[in-house]
Amino acid sequence: MLTLYQRRCPDANPDDGHYDALYAFAEKRLDRCVFGTEKPACRQCPVHCYPSAKREEMKQVMRWAGPRMLWRHPLLTVLHLLDDKKPVPELPEKYRKKK
């Protein structure tokens, strides 16, 4: 989605390294996700691992690129929509608030 946004969105500036840095940040967050391979879609996730500004920027990217993904990458779009329907796993014990 980031690549599509960077290359095609009229508001994006493809020449600066901003989107490369944002992609690296997203990759790092995915690698460190508390849910591991059971990670839910970000919209459903109870743990917000992005700071507010980056979260809003990613929402903007997904809002623009999401509908366009259907034409460029239909299989990935369907897989993403199916992933969105998965139930949210329980938070691992070590990350739960202690009572």
17 found inside a domain: yes
* Domain extent for 52: 2-87
Structure confidence by residue, pLDDT tens digits, 56-93: 999 999 999 989 999 999 998 898 888 888 888 888 77
Handedness of CA 51, 39, 3, 16 (dihedral sign): positive
Number of domains present in the structure of the chain: 1
Is 92 within a domain? no
Q: Look at residue 93 and tell me if it is in a domain.
A: no
Q: Is 97 domain-assigned?
A: no
Whether residue 98 is contained in a domain is answered as no
Start-end of H helices in the chain: 2-8, 18-31, 52-72, 74-85
| pLDDT, tens only, 9-66 | 888 887 778 889 999 999 999 899 888 888 888 888 888 888 999 999 999 999 999 8
Indicate whether 75 belongs to any domain.
Answer: yes
**95 assigned to some structural domain:** no
Q: Is residue 94 part of a domain?
A: no
